[in-house]
A and B are shown apart, each in its own frame.
Chain A
């Protein structure tokens, strides 16, 4: 096993991607993810790969499209405004069934917003990362170790289901250092018989394309893709439960805000309140099964986010009216404190008569 090292989240994402066999990186600088690209610029050439700073985010994502078409393990990274620019290319990748990994180290929005940590791209990532009937698998790590772990496995998931995969981080997770054990390097990517690579006339041409002008053909393509989406929803839901077994106040939080919520839940337990935390690790597919498990004891649900409450509707869709769902958060780069969350838990506890 590798030595435990102290690393920034942004650098852990980059190093882990390299160890997963990523050999192409295309990006454009933006705070707070720039260390990722800087790290890649140093390390990628040593691995025999290609690092390229593109002329724009749009160019970068289309380079990802190209490298993915040729069967390579490829990644791009940006932060919120840059991800909006990439969204066209991500839709094209989804429409062409191309695997690739996209990192979003979120900052405050909308527009140029700010550069402090935010989770305000939840709906964009889980609902409409691009136009058309499509989904992207979205991981929300909450530690630097998870940044490393999910950047590594994201490539496998992308290849398995032939889909873009997003790591949805934020400025706090990108900038902070924590101890991390990096995964073992591998350079054996799976066979990709669909890739558009040279074959000396050994077979018919492969075509990678998202344009289908005949409606029936396009519908058939989408329906086939949705069979894969169903498999993803069935098999790829990931979450962590903390003190949730007998929880009456069930807190849901992902990524950086889950760290804060966890502290608040522990304090609530010390105060005699049966609080628990469900931390979605996949945001799409949303871990509805985890919420179902809490229904028998739950009196109320609380979503804690660094936005204006974007995950609340997903929780309501899982709870289906069986308990109230409330929200607490800050946005614009303001980070909630455990004390604030604890106050909200106590208030809900009183209201629920728990």
Chain B
């Protein structure tokens, strides 16, 4: 997937895993490259149930509906999220899955499945809570959806001033995912 391909992405996991932030990183990287981007969170009753998901679109034409129904890419950080969205991935699409938390990856043979232990890797590297950013790094490694430097600038833009101390850890998490 070249940096100029239109890509519809769903990221999903538990509330608190930083799903919305991970989506924002991807969208910001697209913005930095002058692309059309959109980010739409779920804000309905499902978020009260502890799951969070967001739709991110990267495109070069104006984006129609920002709600992704048939993703090219799924990033799933827990089992219910994988179960909910895996069958929506377009044939030939791709899933990045945190195998620390997703044990059953189903029977789809028409998608590229990249299962890796994001949560475990993050914890072992002293980056507890950053499995989300590790997964974005992994997604980059598998797809090259943007230029590498854009993601690191996106981290600087997306981490709020109050949490600036966490910028370096986020960058480490990106690199960890890229190398895994």
Q: List residues of chain A with CB under 8 Å of any chain B CB.
A: 4-6, 31-32, 114-116, 143, 171-172, 175-179, 259-260, 262-264, 333, 335, 337-338
Report B103 CB to chain A, min CB distance, Å. 32
Question: Which single member of B27, B63, B69 contacts A259 (CB below 8 Å)?
Answer: B63
How far does the alpha carbon of A4 sit from the alpha carbon of B24 in the complex, in Å?
Answer: 15
A-B contact pairs, 27 of them (CB 8 A): A5-B31, A6-B27, A6-B31, A6-B37, A6-B39, A114-B44, A115-B43, A115-B45, A171-B43, A175-B40, A175-B43, A176-B40, A176-B41, A177-B27, A177-B39, A177-B40, A178-B39, A178-B66, A179-B37, A259-B62, A259-B63, A260-B65, A262-B64, A335-B65, A337-B65, A337-B69, A338-B65
Which B residues are CB-close (under 8 A) to A338?
64-65
User: Given A6-B24, A6-B28, is A259 in contact with B65 using a C-beta cutoff of 8 Å?
Assistant: yes
Contact B44 A178 (CB under 8 A): no
How far does the alpha carbon of A114 sit from the alpha carbon of B62 in the complex, in Å?
Answer: 29
Which B residues are CB-close (under 8 A) to A263?
64-65
How far does the alpha carbon of A259 sit from the alpha carbon of B31 in the complex, in Å?
Answer: 19
Which B residues are CB-close (under 8 A) to A4?
31
Which B residues are CB-close (under 8 A) to A143?
62
Contact B24 A177 (CB under 8 A): yes
How far does the alpha carbon of A44 sit from the alpha carbon of B62 in the complex, in Å?
Answer: 32
Contact A176 B65 (CB under 8 A): no
Question: Which single member of A5, A177, A262 contacts B62 (CB below 8 Å)?
Answer: A262
Which B residues are CB-close (under 8 A) to A264?
64
* B48-85 near A? 1/0 per residue, CB < 8 Å: 00000000000000111111010000000000000000
Contact A31 B43 (CB under 8 A): yes
Contact A172 B67 (CB under 8 A): yes
User: Given A32-B43, A115-B43, A177-B38, is A172 in contact with B62 using a C-beta cutoff of 8 Å?
Assistant: no
Q: List residues of chain B with CB under 8 Å of any chain A CB.
A: 24, 27-28, 31, 36-41, 43-45, 62-67, 69, 157
How far does the alpha carbon of A338 sit from the alpha carbon of B41 in the complex, in Å?
Answer: 20
Contact B37 A178 (CB under 8 A): yes
Contact B67 A335 (CB under 8 A): yes
Contact A175 B41 (CB under 8 A): yes
Kindly report which residue of chain A lies nearest to residue B35, judged by CB atoms: A179
Report B88 CB to chain A, min CB distance, Å. 13
How far does the alpha carbon of A259 sit from the alpha carbon of B67 in the complex, in Å?
Answer: 11
Kindly report which residue of chain A lies nearest to residue B56, judged by CB atoms: A177
Among B36, B43, B45, the most chain A Cβ lie within 10 Å of the Cβ of B43
Other 20 A-B pairs with CB < 8 A, given A5-B31, A31-B43, A177-B27:
A4-B31, A6-B28, A6-B31, A114-B44, A116-B44, A172-B40, A172-B66, A176-B38, A177-B38, A178-B38, A178-B66, A179-B37, A259-B62, A259-B66, A260-B64, A262-B64, A263-B65, A264-B64, A333-B44, A337-B65
User: Given A6-B39, A31-B43, A171-B43, is A176 in contact with B28 using a C-beta cutoff of 8 Å?
Assistant: no
Contact B31 A115 (CB under 8 A): no
Kindly report which residue of chain A lies nearest to residue B40, judged by CB atoms: A176
Which A residues are CB-close (under 8 A) to B24?
6, 177
Report B151 CB to chain A, min CB distance, Å. 14
Report A265 CB to chain B, min CB distance, Å. 10
Closest 6 CB pairs of A and B: A263-B64, A177-B39, A176-B40, A179-B31, A259-B64, A260-B65
How far does the alpha carbon of A115 sit from the alpha carbon of B40 in the complex, in Å?
Answer: 15
How far does the alpha carbon of A215 sit from the alpha carbon of B66 in the complex, in Å?
Answer: 52
Report A262 CB to chain B, min CB distance, Å. 6
Report A182 CB to chain B, min CB distance, Å. 14
Which B residues are CB-close (under 8 A) to A333?
44
Report B38 CB to chain A, min CB distance, Å. 5
Kindly report which residue of chain B lies nearest to residue A115, judged by CB atoms: B44
How far does the alpha carbon of A175 sit from the alpha carbon of B38 in the complex, in Å?
Answer: 11
Which B residues are CB-close (under 8 A) to A114?
44
Report B137 CB to chain A, min CB distance, Å. 20
Which A residues are CB-close (under 8 A) to B38?
176-178
Which B residues are CB-close (under 8 A) to A5?
31
Kindly report which residue of chain A lies nearest to residue B61, judged by CB atoms: A266
Contact A176 B66 (CB under 8 A): yes
Report A36 CB to chain B, min CB distance, Å. 14
How far does the alpha carbon of A176 sit from the alpha carbon of B38 in the complex, in Å?
Answer: 7
How far does the alpha carbon of A114 sit from the alpha carbon of B38 in the complex, in Å?
Answer: 23
Kindly report which residue of chain B lies nearest to residue A335, judged by CB atoms: B67
Which A residues are CB-close (under 8 A) to B45?
115
Kindly report which residue of chain A lies nearest to residue B55, judged by CB atoms: A176
How far does the alpha carbon of A260 sit from the alpha carbon of B38 in the complex, in Å?
Answer: 14
